[in-house]
Chains A and B, each alone.
Chain A
Amino acid sequence: MQLLLKRLAKPVSQGAVAGVLCIYIALTGMMEAFGEREIVAGVLDLGKVVLLGPFVGLGLLQQQAPNRRVGWIRVLVACLAGIVATGLFILFIDAVSIRHMFTHASPALVAYMTMGQDALAAGLGLLAVAALAAGAVGFGLALIPAYLRNTIFMAALLVVGMALLSELISQVLRQILNGRPDRLLFSQGALRPAVAVIAAAAVFAWRGLAPRIRLRVQDRLPQLEPERQRQVSLAVRGAGVLVLLVLPWLVGSYLSEVLANVGLYLLMALGLNIAVGLAGLFDLGYVTNFAVGAYLMGVLTNSGPQATGEFNFWLILPVSILAAMFTGLLLALPVIRMRGDYLAIATMGFGEIIRLLALSDWLAPLIGGSQGILFIPKPSIGAFTFQTPQHLFYIILAASLVMLVVINRLDLSLTGRRWMAIRDDETVANAIGIDTTWIKTLAFTLSAASGGLAGAIFASKLGTIFPHSFSLLISMNVLCIIIVGGMGSIRGMVLGTLVLIGVPELLREFSEFRFLLYGILLMAVAIYRPGGLMPARARHYRTESAPQPAGGTPATSSSAASG
């Protein structure tokens, strides 16, 4: 008896956790809000996904069961525990009103969680059956081969993703094709069932063919002559840039705005990545550089009450970058000897100081205090003004591409090696001859440059700036991008910005739950992918002279013979 209890303790506790998760999601109002969002028309809504998702998870968790029979028993026990927890909760909020504390614990919630059945008992029974089925599906997924399981996950992700991004997809389709082609795919934002099936089938087909295609490319690419290889890589990059160039006109004004914001955050992430990702310096005050760039641009170009010179955007852009670098240098001096946590707290202080300075009455005559700076002109070349989000996108794209090239060079350079050495072991880095104080100061200074650039463009893009735009939250967001994307990984920065800045903008119907999702994502990354979504890869170096083919040209054969 005792042994049995011991064996059941784990699945029961897992089930209880799943139940608590369901209750939590319900009480925050997520379940109801998501319940109004259909994924597959008439079949599935997002609320059901979050209601039954934890039970699928319970099934998946039993993967380590010693054998199938034990596994099924554990799934059953865990799901029953979860059902009991959820069921008791439903009965409780049905009987006792706790709405004065939890506004979402309403009869509507009870109705939703009991699958819209009139009789409570029938509803609970249906929920139990659905939860058990979800657990069985989860365990079924745990039993099949990993490649197939991942394919199923991808198909599910694609269907959910397509439904959530229906607005974006419709927009693009309408730009390309005439009429309303999106009506074929969606009905009120939800995928039509046939489309969902086709999308899932497409994922299966792709996953079936992908390994073969990859093999063929891998076989053939190295056989091409170097000249040809360079052409291929150039063509791929050219196509990429071309897509980026037409993108704003394809996706329309609102999404160009989103892309512009993504670009600004990408600039900041690339900059902060020098300090945090490469040199390992935890800077929590990155917003300082953003604010310096923005305020300098604002003060020197605006034509409002704070007008000081009304200089040209293009003149002030480099000045803003230099000013941010100078601020970075100045702030680095007092904190450069601090390590780890101490550095993080000190820099966080700087971030707050700059916001309070911007708010202060003392500087108000110059930078507007809480009134901010108004009438900052948009950038212009001759008679052409970068007025719309689509126009501004190009400035941000150009800035991002330049920064990507610069950061990529630094990442592979000897200077980049020095930063990484400091990150790995500062004492030893010093003992092999690296002037760590100077190299760390350099990391802060260069890291600030990109933040200043982003700030300057931000000020001009918005036309007005206020102190509250420069809160601690910006530093945190940028740091989250780096952690989620992958510290020290440039591809990771791009992906991290798209995931953390781009996707939430597209899902603005759920904007109340944005930070909840941030938290979940951050925890999931910390647990399952500690290196980030796209971890930094090892840098491999090849010299051009090293891989000499046998019987090289006569000019080099003598050196090859001696070497």
Chain B
Amino acid sequence: MSESLLSVSGLTMQFGGLRAVDNVDFRQETGTIVSIIGPNGAGKTTLFNCISGFYEPTEGEIHLGEQRITGLPSHEIARAGIARTYQNIRLFRNMTVLENVMLGQERLLRTTWLGSIFGTRAARRETDEVVERSQAILAFVDLDSSADRQADELPYGDQRRLEIARALASEPRLMMLDEPTAGMNPSETADTERLLQRLRDERNVSLLLIEHDMRFVMGISEHIMVLNYGRTIASGTPQEIRANPEVIEAYLGSSAQD
């Protein structure tokens, strides 16, 4: 069996009487784009929160490569190589665009507080390197002209891209994107699709998406998983998902008619 990038087995998240995620299994291979779809309240974001360590799952195991990351604090999961974005954009609002991307590199940094106080040569060199890398990343997502603006001054679409840039800055093995095209018009969605493909092709990042835009999901994903009431009801290639009667009933029912 080949080495998977992410493997989730028997994952369950129980909130009181509610099973938000119920015995979910899946694997993602390196270099792929996988999407999770499902109606509102299906448990998609809860699944993300379990993987990134915001919640400690009730049952089940999560592995990133060889490393077991179940129940680790979220900063250790980030250090293991998982970066994520949020459904409702969460930037460091009062900091500049450049600073946001600088912070994204946290897992690569070695500067300690003593280095910061004494302004050691190593600390200064690392700051320079971080700034240079950040500028390169901002150029990659086409935000380099806004580097010194405050993050919350950016237009909506740019904020989404900045969040992706911040996640990219950690050179992650896996990037999890929670509804990257939410609130975007068709042309912005197309831009995002191109950006995500470039992320995989040029930066070798594997992507795990939550997405509602069906055209977008079908176009970009190699593999799709459908959640409903916390359970996996289908899993397969876009063609298989499109043909699956259970999925059509649960989720695509209305949109399949047009």
Residues of B within 8 A of A432 (CB): 75, 78, 83, 103-104, 106-107, 166, 170
> Contact partner of A425 among B92, B106, B113, CB < 8 A?
B92
Cβ of A3 < 8 Å from any Cβ of B? no
Closest beta carbon of chain B to A489's beta carbon, Å: 12
Cβ of A140 < 8 Å from any Cβ of B? no
B75-A434 in contact (CB<8A): yes
Determine the residue in chain B with the shortest Cβ distance to A411: B116
- Could you name 25 residue pairs across A and B whose Cβ atoms are closer than 8 Å? A409-B116, A410-B113, A413-B111, A417-B95, A418-B103, A420-B92, A421-B92, A421-B95, A424-B94, A427-B54, A428-B90, A428-B92, A429-B92, A429-B103, A430-B74, A432-B75, A432-B83, A433-B75, A434-B75, A538-B95, A538-B148, A540-B98, A543-B132, A544-B128, A546-B132
Residues of A within 8 A of B104 (CB): 432
B170-A414 in contact (CB<8A): no
Q: How far is the CA of A397 from the CA of B74 in the complex (A)?
A: 43
| Given A409-B119, A546-B135, A433 and B94 contact (CB-CB distance below 8 Å) | no
Determine the residue in chain A with the shortest Cβ distance to B96: A538
Closest beta carbon of chain B to A344's beta carbon, Å: 20
Cβ of B162 < 8 Å from any Cβ of A? no
Residues of B within 8 A of A540 (CB): 96, 98, 148
> Contact partner of A433 among B79, B113, B115, B127, CB < 8 A?
B79
Closest beta carbon of chain B to A453's beta carbon, Å: 14
> Contact partner of B75 among A425, A430, A539, A541, CB < 8 A?
A430
Query: Can you add 11 more A-B contacts, CB < 8 Å, to A538-B96, A546-B131?
Result: A410-B113, A417-B102, A420-B95, A424-B95, A428-B92, A429-B92, A430-B73, A436-B75, A538-B150, A540-B98, A541-B99
Question: What 1/0 mask marks residues of chain A from 461 to 476 whose CB sits below 8 Å from any chain B CB?
Answer: 0000000000000000
Residues of A within 8 A of B111 (CB): 413-415
A414-B78 in contact (CB<8A): no
Residues of B within 8 A of A480 (CB): none
Q: How far is the CA of A539 from the CA of B115 in the complex (A)?
A: 19
**Which residues of A391-438 are within 8 A (CB) of B?**
406, 409-410, 413-418, 420-421, 423-425, 427-436
Q: How far is the CA of A423 from the CA of B106 in the complex (A)?
A: 16
Cβ of B227 < 8 Å from any Cβ of A? no
Residues of A within 8 A of B52 (CB): 431
Cβ of A446 < 8 Å from any Cβ of B? yes
Residues of B within 8 A of A544 (CB): 128
Cβ of B93 < 8 Å from any Cβ of A? yes
**Which residues of B218-242 are within 8 A (CB) of A?**
none
Closest beta carbon of chain B to A369's beta carbon, Å: 37
Cβ of A545 < 8 Å from any Cβ of B? yes
Closest beta carbon of chain B to A273's beta carbon, Å: 15
Cβ of B117 < 8 Å from any Cβ of A? yes
A541-B131 in contact (CB<8A): yes
Cβ of A110 < 8 Å from any Cβ of B? no
Cβ of A442 < 8 Å from any Cβ of B? yes
Closest beta carbon of chain B to A441's beta carbon, Å: 11
Closest beta carbon of chain A to B102's beta carbon, Å: 6
Q: How far is the CA of A540 from the CA of B131 in the complex (A)?
A: 10
Residues of B within 8 A of A418 (CB): 103, 106
Closest beta carbon of chain A to B98's beta carbon, Å: 6
Residues of B within 8 A of A425 (CB): 90-93
Q: How far is the CA of A446 from the CA of B116 in the complex (A)?
A: 12
The 9 closest A-B pairs by CB, nearest first: A413-B116, A433-B78, A415-B116, A433-B106, A424-B92, A433-B107, A541-B131, A414-B111, A431-B74
Question: What 1/0 mask marks residues of chain B from 114 to 137 whose CB sits below 8 Å from any chain A CB?
Answer: 011111000100111011100100
Closest beta carbon of chain B to A443's beta carbon, Å: 10
